[in-house]
Amino acid sequence: MGVPHVPVFPKLVAEGDHDVRSRYEAVRAVLERTEPDLLVVVANDHLNAFFLDRLPTFSIGIGELMSGPMDDVPGLETGPLPTDTGAARRARGIPGA
């Protein structure tokens, strides 16, 4: 499944936008029903960690914690997000992971 990552969405939901809220609640319901073991999040870097001279096609973070969101998102605090380092290392093809 995919959802847009418009930075203003959390603020819109907090201000009562029921259309945006209902769309994300539908995603939440699917996740709660299926209880996935792993979520793979694909997001745009927006040139926050990389710049044009070193912009990879994609990158896979392998740290124990990630910080997010990377952009200044109205109404959403930045905080540490736990990761599955083993799954990330296996996805990168790191031997012994």
Residue-level pLDDT, tens digit, the chain, 97 residues: 778 877 788 888 889 999 999 998 999 999 999 999 888 877 776 777 788 888 888 888 888 988 877 777 777 788 888 889 888 888 888 666 5
Residue of 76, 78, 96 whose CA lies nearest to 86: 96
* Residue type at 66 in one-letter notation: M
**Is the separation of the CB atoms in 58 and 92 below 8 Å?**
no
Q: Rounded to two decimals, what is the model's pTM?
A: 0.65
Residue of 69, 49, 68, 67 whose CA lies nearest to 59: 49
